[in-house]
Amino acid sequence: MSSLPNMHDAEPIPAEARAEIDRLLQSGDLFRYTAPEDAPVALLEREFAAMMGSRYALAVSSCSAALFLSLKALGLPRDARVMIPGFTFAAVPSAIVHADCIPVLCEVGENYRIDLGDFEAKLDSVQAVIISHMRGHTSDMDAIMALCDARDIPVIEDAAHSLGTVWGGRKVGTIGRIGCFSFQSYKLVNAGEGGILITDDADIVAQAVILSGAYEHTWKKHVAHGDNTGALAEAFARWQNKLPLYNLRMSNLSAAVIRPQLAHVERRILDGRRNHDFVAERINRSPWIYVPDKLPQEERAPDSLQFNLRSMTRDEMRAFADVAAALGVKVQVFGLSSDNARAFWNWQFLPEMPELPRTRAMLEAACDTRLPARLTLEDCAAVADILVTAAEQVMSETRAYGT
Ligand SMILES: *Cc1c(COP(=O)(O)O)cnc(C)c1O
C-alpha cells in the first residue's frame, strides 16, 4: 500500500487573507459596525448572498447562532414544537432548546434521509421544521416543502455542512424560508468558527439582524445595498427597540478569512464529489460495506464519507474501526462510541426523549470518515483499500474461528 494520506488537515487559508488581516490588525478595525460602510463582514454578506442567489444574508458567530436567530425571527412562542431529523448534530436540538422551543425528532432511514411517513405523521403537531442536511445528505425537499407549504409551516434549512449541494437545480439553503451555514473548521469554508443565514424575507432578516446585536441604528449599515423596494428599511423601522440583543455578531477577522475562500468553493465541491464517488464505488464492492445512493434530484458536495456496515456484529464493527485506524483511516461508527454527538440518545438535555428504532438501527451500523476535498485520487485509492482490507480482515478472522 502506498503512503498514508493525511486525512485530517484542512486546506491552507488563501494567501490573500493575510494582507487583509494585516490591514485590520494595523487599524484595529475588527468590529463590523465601526467602519461607515463596506466592513469585511458586510462585504461577505453581499458576496455570499450573490453567490447563493438570495436577497439577504446575515453573518454571525456560528451556524448554531444562525439557527437560534432563525427560530426567534419566526416569532415562535415559548414551548413551540419544532421538528428535526433524528440524525443531526447535537447543536441543532440545542438551538431549539435555547430558543425556548421543544425539539420533535422524526425517523431517518438507512440512507440517512428523513423517513417521510414519520415526518408527515408528526407534522400536524409542530409549528416549525428544521431540515438538517446532515453531512450533506439531502432528503426529498420537494415532498417536504409540499407537506409544509400545505400547512403553512415554515422550513429552516440547516445547511451547515451542505454548502454547494444542489437539489433539483436549486441550491440547498435557498429552498426553505431561511438557510443556515457554518464556517467551522470541519465544513467546506473554514474560519475556525462562524455562520451565516440567508433569506428572501425582509421581515425575518430585519429581526435577525437586530437580535444578532445591531444596536441603535447600526442596522442602517445593512440597508445600503440591494433594498430597492424599501422593504428592508421599513422592516427595521418596525422592529427598532422591540427585540433583545443577543450579540452573536461576526468579527471582521473571520470575514477576512472567509471571503477569499468563496472563490474556491466550486473547485472544492467538484473535488469533494470526485473523491467521494471514487471511494464509494470501490468500497461498495465489498460484501461488508454499503454506501447508500443519493436521491436522483441531488448533486452532492461532500467532504466526508458515510457508509453502512452489513452482516457484522457490534464486536466486529469495533474490530473493523480498530483495524482501519491501525492502517491509517479513522472511522467512527455513529452509534457505537459512547458519547457521539450525532446519536440522539446522547442528547439527554431533550425535554422529551423519543424512541426512534429505524434511526437507531441506522446509527448503529453507519460509519463516518473524513474525506477532504484536497486528497488526490491516489490518496482516495489508499483510503478505499484500507476500508476494504479492514472489513475483509475482520470478517475472515471471524469466519476462520467459526463464530
Ligand atoms: C456543524 C454543524 C452544525 C453546527 O455548526 P456551528 O457553526 O458549529 O454551530 C449544525 N448542523 C450541522 C448538520 C452541522 O454539521
pLDDT, tens digit, for every residue of 361-377? 999 999 999 999 999 99
Task: Give the CATH fold of the 264-401 domain.
Answer: Aspartate Aminotransferase, domain 1 (3.90.1150)
pLDDT tens for each residue of 50-104: 999 999 999 999 999 999 999 999 999 999 999 999 999 999 999 999 999 999 9
Query: Residue range 8-31: average pLDDT?
Result: 94
CB 190 less than 6 A from any atom of ligand 1 = no
As a whole number of angstroms, the distance between CA 74 and CA 86 comes to 22
Query: Residue range 100-118: average pLDDT?
Result: 98
CB 331 within 8 A of CB 368: yes
Protein residue whose Cα sits closest to atom 5 of ligand 1: 63
As a whole number of angstroms, the distance between CA 167 and CA 299 comes to 6
At residue 249, the 3 state secondary structure works out as strand
For the chain, give every domain's residue range: 16-263, 264-401
Mean pLDDT of the chain: 95
What cell does 270 get? 467538484
Atom of ligand 1 nearest to the CA of 161: 15
pLDDT tens for each residue of 321-342: 999 999 999 999 999 988 899 9
CB 64 less than 6 A from any atom of ligand 1 = yes
pLDDT tens for each residue of 171-220: 999 999 999 999 999 999 999 999 999 999 999 999 999 999 999 999 99
Residue 160: closest CA among 173, 141, 149, 145: 173
pLDDT tens for each residue of 223-233: 866 667 789 99
Q: How far is CA 324 from the centre of its chain?
A: 26
Protein residue whose Cα sits closest to atom 10 of ligand 1: 160
Q: Scan for cell 433524528, then name that residue.
A: 86
Q: What pLDDT, on the 0 to 100 scale, is given for residue 225? A: 67
Evaluated on CA atoms 239, 240, 244, 246, the torsion sign reads: positive
Percent of the chain with pLDDT over 70: 97
The reported pTM is 0.96
Provide the β-strand partners of residue 180: 158, 197
As a whole number of angstroms, the distance between CA 48 and CA 199 comes to 11
For residue 368, give the H/E element and its range. Answer: strand 366-370
Strands (E), 51-206: 56-60, 81-85, 102-106, 128-132, 155-158, 166-167, 170-171, 178-182, 195-199
Q: What pLDDT, on the 0 to 100 scale, is given for residue 3? A: 65
Instruction: Give the pLDDT band (50/70/90) at residue 1.
Output: very low
Strands 170-171 and 166-167: antiparallel
CB 147 within 8 A of CB 157: no
CB 356 within 8 A of CB 344: yes
CB 189 less than 6 A from any atom of ligand 1 = no
CATH number of 16-263: 3.40.640.10
pLDDT tens for each residue of 382-395: 999 999 999 999 99
Strands (E), 172-248: 178-182, 195-199
As a whole number of angstroms, the distance between CA 186 and CA 319 comes to 26
pLDDT tens for each residue of 35-50: 999 999 999 999 999 9
CB 156 less than 6 A from any atom of ligand 1 = no
The dihedrals phi and psi of 47, each to the nearest 5 degrees, come to -70, -40
Q: Scan for cell 427597540, then name that residue.
A: 241
Instruction: Give the pLDDT band (50/70/90) at residue 402.
Output: low
CB 134 less than 6 A from any atom of ligand 1 = yes
What cell does 367 get? 460509519
DSSP 356: -
Provide the β-strand partners of residue 108: 114
CB 200 within 8 A of CB 256: no
Over 70: is that where the pLDDT of 142 sits?
Answer: yes
CB 22 within 8 A of CB 15: no
Residue 386: closest CA among 337, 301, 328: 328
